[in-house]
């Protein structure tokens, strides 16, 4: 059973500070994106197993993995480095969405929307950290 938090919120929004990367909204939405990429790429042709399918999945996982790794870094500069890598991996995924559509594997509107949302969240998240520099 999870114990309720007894500490007071640290900001006016009533939010509690994140204790782990799993508490971050940006990580949660990025994880949703990864799950969507896995489901979408499951329908790709078999000959793409070691090509587009593998690259797309690895790039999507890289987004969440870099958010998680950046969370543990002590300095704002170190955190930003990992979040910047996550942004780059997200852009790579955006390209794979375009490629999948152009190859006739189908568009995935949900994945497109999730990528947009994760991009906006990452941008806001990094801007907030940049204030500490």
Assigned CATH for 21-130? 1.20.1440.60
pLDDT tens-digit series, residues 40-55: 999 999 999 999 999 9
What is the residue extent of each domain of the chain? Answer: 21-130
User: Which of the four pLDDT bands, split at 50, 70 and 90, describes residue 133?
Assistant: confident
Tokens of 129: 């950290």
CA angle 107, 65, 61 (to 5 degrees): 25
Query: Residue 54 has what pLDDT?
Result: 98
Region class of 94: left (phi > 0), else alpha (psi between -120 and 50), else beta: alpha
Encode pLDDT of 87-106 as tens digits: 999 999 999 999 999 999 99
Q: How far is CA 63 from the centre of its chain?
A: 4
pTM: 0.87
Neighbours of 79 (CB within 10 A): 21
pLDDT band with cut points at 50, 70 and 90 for residue 21: very high
């Amino acid at each position: 059973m999870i114990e309720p938090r007894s500490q007071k919120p640290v900001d006016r929004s009533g939010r509690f500070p994140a204790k782990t990367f799993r508490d971050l909204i940006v990580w949660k939405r990025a994880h949703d994106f990864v799950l969507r990429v896995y489901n979408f790429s499951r329908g790709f042709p078999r000959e793409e197993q070691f090509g587009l399918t593998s690259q797309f999945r690895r790039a999507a996982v890289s987004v969440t993995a870099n958010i998680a790794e950046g969370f543990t870094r002590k300095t704002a500069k170190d955190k930003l480095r990992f979040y910047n890598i996550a942004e780059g991996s997200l852009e790579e995924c955006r390209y794979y969405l375009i490629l999948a559509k152009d190859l006739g594997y189908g568009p995935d509107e949900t994945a497109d929307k999730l990528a947009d949302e994760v991009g906006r969240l990452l941008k806001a998240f990094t801007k907030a950290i940049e204030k500490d520099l």
